[in-house]
Structure 1
Amino acid sequence: MSEYLSKAAAFAQNAAKLSKKVSEGIVENAREFGLEATSSGHYFDTSEEKMRDIKRQLDSRHDREKMDGLKRLIAMISKGRDVSEFFPDVVKNVASQNLEIRKLVYIYLLRYAEQEPDLALLSINTFQRDLTDQNQLIRAMALRVMSGIRVPVISPIVLLAIKKCMTDLSPYVRKTAAHAIPKCYSLDPSQKDALVDIITTLLNDNSPFTIGSVITAFNEVCPDRLDLIHPHYRKFCRMLIDADEWGQIVIMGLLLRYARTQFLNPNPDNLRVAEKEKSKTVNSDEDSDESDNSLDKSYALDPDHEQLLRDSLPLLQSRNSAVVLSVAKIFYHLAPTADAYKLSKPLIRLLHSHREIQYVVLANIATMATQRPYLFEPHLQQFFVRSTDPAFIRNLKMEIMTLVATESNITGILRELQEYVKSPNKDFATSAIRAIGRCAIGMPEMAESCLNGLMKLLWSKNDAVVAESVVVIKRLLQLRPQDNADMIIQLAKALDHITVPMARASIFWLVGQYAQNLEKVAPDILRKAAKTFTTEADVVKLQIINLGGKLLSLHSTDHTLNLLFQYILNLARYDLNYDIRDRARLLRGLVLISEKKETNIDNMGVEGMLSKELNESSILTNNLKQILLCEKEAPSEESPSVGRDRFTIGSMSLVLNYSVPGYKSLPDWPTEKPDGSVRENLDDTWNRNQYIKGFGSDSFGRYIPPSTYDNKPVTKQYNDSYDSEHFYDSYESSDDNRNHDEKTALRYDSIEDEFSNEDEETSEEYDDEDEEEEASGSSEEESSEAETSEEE
């Protein structure tokens, strides 16, 4: 027993020693990382003692304590506490050799430089000195902080720093200089001319890493100076493929504006009719070659215009949805109608992303479909609603379905919408019913089948479905006023179980508007309405009063109908709603005017007023039917996306459907072709190999494809792995579309063979040179050996 106790005691001692070592190691590691075991909440402690401790840490000689003090200050800033009292102590550390300390100091300076401009100027000399540092990160950081200090006094110094960094050997520093230009311009707009000169110089930069930031600065300072883009247009087109993703978006936005001012419209007015014909040729095999050739010959693109379309096409394969949307913007606003269909598959691919991206893409697709529905007609099934789609996605998908409806697919669309009506979600079901109504209005030949389907919904147990069905039926019946009596009678029979006020009001309006076709039914409907008049909603009461006035204007001699209408007017006379009282007073004066005039004759006996009122009575009586039963204009329910087409594709204004601040519409196409020689310069000989190792060097930017719009025979084609058309074959599309894609797509010739031939030629040259060198070297060795032998 004693042995077990001794072993247990020894084990306990070993465990205690081990735990002590572990705790000591943790404490030591915490100290190395600047974390004290007793200061778990000291970052947010604002007591006077802690504030003095922070000041002591900032004045310390050890970098670890300085960093700890700066972290505590940044934590206080994040909590909204004013710590500007430490500004002098923080400025002292601006020249620290520790890069992490410098970053924290720079964050602090950016926050409080405006409040302490005098003290902030003390660090300017340090920043200027850092502009010549060997580390490119320090140079860029110094310029970034200088441009971020919002003190107007230092704007000339910032301008000099930008001029110095714009010629830096590091692309990262030049990119930072481009970012500093808008900041300097907002700080001192009087420096615009000097900044424009700097932008002009930076536009000559051949680095894809920098050019996106330069164009961003151009858009901020001088967006209308498109003359500066002339000598660099072709270079920008070639650099698209190798620029970073956000740089590609900015470049394409600029090139779009430039192209709208420098090139002619590829789709003149005489080709608008060809758009619908083109949609038919996309799905037809007969004479596809002849139709494509005839359409291609009807216009001729400028070579520079063609280059923009050609160089931007590979970016449709980008993983960034914003890049794909920017390319779609290029093709929608600039490409001929024969090539606009290329944007449909990439946009459909984006529908498999997050729902926020889906909403933006669907909003743009809906806008495109209002003008060119044939682009997305082959992809109809991609717009079918899923059970996991949120409400805003569902509405846009149903809207697009109604926009791309044609005679060939309307049956499938209506079948799909009828399934949506069965949804337990009332809002979704009513949206589906409205979509059916839009299909019927857009295609009158399908109105009969739509009406039959909607009439079946009148007996649904869902009140919202019944109400929306009645409202839609009312709109559709206005399109066929001569053949609607039977359906109106069926609607009237459903009044007993329809309780939604808007639906009941619509039925009473239909009965009154087309009472001439319902001579036997309409009076009985008015009789039943008089029984429930006091319990009806206000909108229903107004329509019942209108119904009585319309019936009495048609049968003015019917004594029973006259008494029934007077009874309804008497009920309305004491209604709580003043609108109902006013409507009853108005119709009493119009319809029952003869009785009113007889009463005035007996009571007043004034001959002059009598003759005047009798004349008014005869005029109103003769025109009473035209007043109450005038023909109403047939409804034309527009798509919710109507009006968005006035905005540029891919803009925020299009998604929100109103012009946001800063939005600029695209310029109109020029009426006459501008001079294209302004783009002829030394830039044409610019070598792409200068940046072939930059972003995207393994992409399409490695070759220059030939022209395709001049109908020249193409002998070489790039392999399928790089074909942008085959990239989307995984999505559903017909074989006819694929045949059309292969025949009308922009083609790219691979010059890998040329590169390989050049490599072989150069390698042969190098081999010849090596052989010559070896031969010369061997001869020299032989001569040297002969000389040594002679000396011996």
Structure 2
Amino acid sequence: MAPPAQSHRSPSPSQPSGKGEVSDLKMQLRQLAGSRAPGTDDSKRELFKKVISYMTIGIDVSSVFSEMVMCSATSDIVLKKMCYLYVGNHAKYNPDLALLTINFLQKDCKDEDPMIRGLALRSLCSLRVANLVEYLVGPLRVGLEDGNSYVRTVATVGVLKLYHISATTCVDADFPTKLKHLMLNDPDTQVVANCLSALQEIWSLEASKSEEASREREALLSKPVVYYFLNRIKEFSEWAQCLVLELVAKYVPSDSNEIFDVMNLLEDRLQHANGAVVLATIKLFLQLTLSMTDVHQQVYERIKAPLLTLVSSGSPEQSYAVLSHLHLLVMRAPMLFSSDYKHFYCQYNEPFYVKKLKLEMLTAVANESNTYEIVTELCEYAANVDIPIARESIRAVGKIALQKYDVNAIVDRLLQFLEMEKDYVTAETLVLVKDLLRKYPQWSHDCIAVVGNISSKNVQEPKAKAALIWMLGEYAQDMQDAPYVLESLIDNWEDEHSAEVRLHLLTAAMKCFFRRPPETQKALGDALAAGIADFHQDVHDRALFYYRLLQYNVSVAERVVNPPKQAVSVFADTQSSEIKDRIFDEFNSLSVVYEKPSYMFTDKEHRGPFVFSEELGNLSIGVESASNVVSTQMIEANDNDLLLSTSEKEESRGASSNGSAYNAPSIDVSSNQLLATHSTQPSVAIDDLLGLGLPVAPNPAPSPPPLKLNARAVLDPSTFQQKWRQLPISVSQEYSMNPQGVAALITPQSLLRHMQGNSIHCIASGGQAPNFKFFFFAQKAEESSTFLVECVINSASCKAQLKIKADDQSTSQAFSAFFQSVLSTFGMT
């Protein structure tokens, strides 16, 4: 059992403060240390329980370390376990104290009781103190040769722990060779399994260092070793069987006869009660027969019954994991479960995540023969009191309709949903009707007749409202009230908080204007005027674009906004075939459950943007970007040895500003807003026609060009370090921060996101309250000139000390002013 992580919470008023209680415990433990009186062990148990309890809630009990060690001189195994737990928890954080435990742990490794020998050896290997490595070699060597299988089991895992503490010591002591001997000769299957697990990890890490280790790793996949494990597989535990099956999955048989021999030998594993063993066997069968098309298809048929059994007989968590694998298989062989679709009907007592996945399965297995039954079942769910499931069921009906299965009946069912007068049902249905009309324009007459009866006041969800507005603009000639509905929505422009809806309103007003000009003229003018004044960058730019199109040529504007359209044949898949194949290769892993390859959630560039490591203390690493992260490590945050080592580098993409989904190429520092292209002289005719009444502003006097920063600036950490050493300090000053910004520093990452939103990128950061240190860089948009910033913030004094270095010294003051203005808005609502 691993020691509990140390808690850093302050005890609540109801919890002991720690000081007085710990002192009392220390005195009582000292009194009992040398006592041989009857009942001493019972008293020690109570005191040990209190120590463990205090340790768990975060009270510092390191002062009783020596007393705990003295009291461990007992034959009571319960006391031994609690003492080992305490020692293992404190040794990592107090290496000096760990040295005190060596003597009694080594003594316990020679105890007559094999349980105590094993526990002591496990605790000794769990100290994880590099200075104590020399004390591990002897007990481990003895433990590997112990007559008790439990001690040997612990020793095999201890070898792996030793390797991670000091790989050189482990290899020099020839422990891998001893593990290999035990693996092939030990009668205990758990010892064999532990040896296999440890050797796989050791040789995979050593393979890059020596050819011999690489050969040893390949020897694990040799025919004699693989057959040795296969012949003993029934003796192993479930965990060990999965380990063996994973090993065999990497083995390449010589011919088809050998493939059939392996499959026949493992046939009964498909009926195993443990789901992990079944899935590991299925993975092996699928991989062995990939090159044998007919046999591969037969394997699909063979594994169907075991998988369906696991879905119905296991816990909800197991059902979800198995259903995820079923979904993956159905994507590769759609006809596989088409006749077993009833197994995926939802049960009333199933959790939401299982029901949702079952709905996806029903969508995946739908074909011409079962569509009617599946859609009928899904329509029942649409009337369910469980609103999330009702939404998902409506989406499932729409997905089936987009697959061209009995479209006539499905469209009728969807239109009936609109008559249910439930807000969430109407919202989901409107979104689906929009997609159906894009693929099946021939259904526009029937759909629009029903949609036209829906009041826009009853549709509040942004996506649904956007879908309704799209239909109002696209089919304005068929919907009699379309111009007036749009006009009422535009009149409430200020009350519409969704940028998506406002964008659709602009486009729909333009489309309606070209089809019914007299009725839409005023509404379009109001929409353009409101859009140009909108705070959202996308809405502002689209309104300005439409306005200039109309200025240029109305006919061209109509061709741009309302071109001839063809029906959508296939909607884009969210995953490429390459990604799906990669997930299939990682069958029986979390990749299938997450629906993404392992590198997307294990590799550094796909992890969260800010990583905290115990080895680096409170050092914050990383630069946040829209889809990529540059992970860096700060070695020393000073002028002489500033940074940095990077393990992997990618271009950092800047985050959008103003909440917009698009990135402008540059930032106007003087106004802190995205630059808009200079417009030409407004057309008075268009202004009069649309009732905009925009005044013609006089030409302003020429001003010096504003400082523009590159939102996608990239700087190599080594280049940053070199520039910092070479460039002189351009600006050095102290700046007072606002209290809100200082309070927001409780999460330093928020400052990095705030600065990056203004094209100032963080390359490294560190420190803890009250002193924080950040290193930023920025680049001019049209030049390669770079600004480097060291920012030290003291949260106690609310002061920020800035040092700025620049390639172009003349722009340092302008950049300094901009940097301070951005910093001053940090933490403000």
From 574, 589, 593, the equivalent of 2:548 is 589
Q: Distance in 2 between matches of 1:155 and 1:86?
A: 25
Name whichever structure is richer in strand by fraction: 2
Instruction: Tell me if the contact between 2:25 and 2:47 (Cα under 8 Å) persists in the aligned partners.
Output: no
In the alignment, the residues of structure 2 paired with residue 221 and residue 63 of structure 1 have an alpha-carbon distance, to the nearest angstrom, of: 49
The equivalent residue for 1:762 is none
Alignment match of 1:165 (pick from 112, 136, 143): 143
1:241 to 234, 237, 240: 234
> TM-score if structure 1 supplies the norm length?
0.63
Going from structure 1 to structure 2, the CA distance change for 1:114 and 1:453 (only over 3 Å counts) comes to closer
Matched, 1:203 2:183: yes
Aligned-partner Cα distance in 1 for 2:414–2:533:
38
Give 1:252 deviation, angstroms.
Answer: 1.7
CA deviation after TM superposition for structure 1 residue 191, in Å: 3.0
SS at match of 2:232: helix
Q: Match for residue 189 of structure 1?
A: 167
Residue pairs, 1:668-687, within 5 angstroms: none
Distance 1:115 1:426 in 2: 50
Deviates more, 1:502-511 or 1:115-124: 115-124
Are 1:44 and 1:72, in contact at CA under 8 Å, matched by a contact in 2? no
Paired with 2:535 and 2:132, the residues of 1 have a C-alpha distance of 71
1-side partners of 2:458 and 2:378: how far apart? 23
Give, in whole Å, the separation in 1 of the partners of 2:101 and 2:556. 91
Q: Give the letter aligned to residue 582 of structure 2.
A: R
User: Are the counterparts in 1 of residues 428 and 464 from structure 2 also a CA contact under 8 Å?
Assistant: yes
Cα deviation for residue 119 of structure 1 reads 6.0
1: CA distance between counterparts of 2:439 and 2:572? 12
Considering Cα pairs closer than 8 Å and 6+ residues apart, tell me whether 1 or 2 has the greater RCO: 1
- 1:374 Cα deviation (Å)? 3.3
Contact 1:395 1:431 survives alignment (8 Å): yes
Distance in 1 (CA, whole Å) between partners of 2:457 and 2:99 is: 80
Q: Tell me which of 485, 490, 512 is aligned to 2:445.
A: 485
Distance (Å, rounded) in 1 between the aligned partners of 2:75 and 2:390: 67
Shift of 1:310: 2.9
2:491 paired residue number: 534
- Does structure 1 residue 313 correspond to structure 2 residue 249? no
The equivalent of 1:646 in structure 2 is: 582
* Distance apart, 1:315 and its partner CA: 2.4
Match of 2:60 in 1: 82
- In 2, the alpha carbon distance for the partners of 1:377 and 1:358 equals 19
Name 2:219's counterpart in structure 1: 227
Report what 1:360 is aligned to.
321
Q: Encode CA deviations 1:475-514: one digit per residue, 9 max, x unaligned.
A: 1111123553342343223346742353343233134335
**2:660 alignment counterpart:** none
Query: Which amino acid is the alignment partner of residue 29 of structure 2?
Result: I
Contact 1:402 1:435 in 2 (8 A): yes
Cα distance in 2 between the residues matched to 1:118 and 1:253: 42
Kept in 2: contact 1:331–1:339 (CA 8 A): yes
Aligned to 2:27: 52
Equivalent position amino acid for 1:629 in 2: P
Matched residue type, 2:400: C
Tell me the amino acid that sits aligned with residue 231 of structure 2.
R
The answer to whether 1:431 aligns with 2:392 is yes
Three-state SS of the structure 1 residue aligned to 2:452 is: helix
Match of 2:415 among 455, 459, 465: 455
Q: After superposition, what is the alpha-carbon deviation per residue over 1:328-367, rounded to whole angstroms, capped at 9, x for unaligned?
A: 3323333433123322222222223222222222222222
In structure 2, which of residues 267, 287, 300 is the aligned counterpart of residue 340 of structure 1?
300
Which residue matches 2:571? 636
**Native 8 Å contact 2:301 2:336 kept in 1:** yes
The 1:398/1:622 distance shift into structure 2, 3 A limit, reads same
Matching of residue 625 in structure 1 with residue 559 in structure 2: yes
For residues 134 and 49 of structure 1, what CA distance do their matches in structure 2 show?
34
Contact 2:22 2:61 in 1 (8 A): no
For structure 2, which runs of at least 5 residues remain unmatched after alignment? 1-15, 208-216, 290-295, 604-829
Q: Is 2:507–2:561's contact at 8 Å kept on the other side of the alignment?
A: no
Inter-CA distance 543–119: structure 2 relative to 1 (3 Å threshold):
closer
Q: Which letter does structure 1 place at the counterpart of 2:437? A: L
Identity of aligned residues (%): 24
Q: In the alignment, is the contact (CA less than 8 A) between 1:359 and 1:392 conserved in 2?
A: yes
**2:109–2:117 Cα contact (<8 Å) kept:** yes
Conserved in 1, the CA contact under 8 Å of 2:87 and 2:101?
A: no
Shift of 1:401: 0.9
Q: 2:37 aligns with which of 52, 62, 67?
A: 62
For residues 103 and 494 of structure 1, do their structure 2 counterparts lie closer, same or farther at Cα, with a shift above 3 Å needed? closer
Alpha-carbon distance in structure 2 between the residues aligned to 1:122 and 1:47: 20
Instruction: State the match for 2:792 in structure 1.
Output: none
Kept in 1, the 8 Å contact 2:52–2:82? The answer is no
Separation of aligned partners in 2, 1:344 and 1:424:
33
Asked if the contact 1:93–1:102 (Cα under 8 Å) also holds between the matched residues in 2, the reply is: no
Do the aligned residues in 1 keep the contact of 2:269 with 2:277 (CA within 8 Å)? yes
Give deviations 1:674-719, integer Å, cap 9, x for gaps.
Answer: xxxxxxxxxxxxxxxxxxxxxxxxxxxxxxxxxxxxxxxxxxxxxx
* Structure 1 match to 2:804: none
Give, in whole Å, the separation in 1 of the partners of 2:273 and 2:47: 40
Give the TM-score taking structure 2 as reference length: 0.60
- Alpha carbons 1:572, 1:584 under 8 Å: kept: yes
CA contact (8 A) 1:249 1:323 kept: yes
Equivalent residue number for residue 325 of structure 1 = 279
Shift in alpha-carbon separation, 1:46–1:532, aligned structure 2, 3 A: closer
Please give the alpha-carbon distance, in whole angstroms, between the structure 2 residues aligned to 1:151 and 1:318: 42
Distance 1:560 1:413, change over 3 A: closer
Residue 758 of structure 2 is matched in structure 1 by none
Aligned length: 553
Conserved 8 A contact 1:136-1:173? yes
Q: Any runs of at least 4 consecutive aligned residues in structure 1 with deviations exceeding 6 A, and if so which?
A: 573-578, 639-642, 661-665
Greater C-alpha radius of gyration: 1
Q: For residues 660-682 of structure 1, what are the alpha-carbon distances to aligned partners after superposition, in whole Å with 9 as ceiling and x for unaligned?
A: 689899xxxxxxxxxxxxxxxxx
Distance 1:522 1:172, change over 3 A: same
Residue 406 of structure 1 aligns to a residue in which SS?
coil
Aligned pair in 2 of structure 1 residues 79, 49: CA closer, same or farther (>3 Å)? closer
Aligned positions of 1:46-195 closer than 5 A? 46=21, 48-62=23-37, 64-80=39-55, 81-114=59-92, 117=95, 120-121=98-99, 124=102, 127-128=105-106, 131=109, 133-193=111-171, 194-195=174-175
How many Å separate the matches in 1 of 2:103 and 2:479? 92
Letter in 2 for 1:236: F
Structure 1 position 436, deviation (Å): 0.8
Separation in structure 2 between the aligned mates of residue 640 and residue 96 of structure 1, nearest angstrom: 61
In 2, Cα distance between equivalents of 1:530 and 1:129:
88
Deviation per CA, 1:224-280: give whole Å up to 9, x if none: 613234231101112221101111122222222x22xx248xxxxxxxxxxxxxxxx
| CA deviation string 1:536-577 (max 9, x = no partner) | 63554543432332244457xx65655664465456667787
Relative distance call for 1:571 and 1:245 in structure 2 (3 A) is closer
Aligned partners of 1:505 and 1:540 also within 8 Å: yes
Q: Which residue of 2 aligns with 1:550?
A: 511
- Cα 1:209–1:662, aligned 2, differ >3 Å: closer, same or farther? farther
Contact (CA 8 Å) 2:367, 2:405: kept in 1 or not?
no
Contact 1:467–1:498 (Cα < 8 Å) also in 2: no
Tell me: CA distance 1:206–1:405, structure 2 relative to 1, closer, same or farther (3 Å).
Answer: farther
Q: 2:349 aligns with which of 384, 388, 394?
A: 388
Report the RMSD for the aligned CA atoms in angstroms: 3.5
- Call closer, same or farther: CA 1:660–1:74 in 2, change over 3 Å: farther
Unaligned 5+ runs, structure 1: 1-40, 265-299, 594-616, 666-792
Q: Deviations over 1:413-457 (max 9, x none)?
A: 111111111112222111111101111122x14223221210111
Counterpart pick for 1:419 among 380, 393, 398: 380
Cα distance in 1 for residues equivalent to 2:305 and 2:94: 56
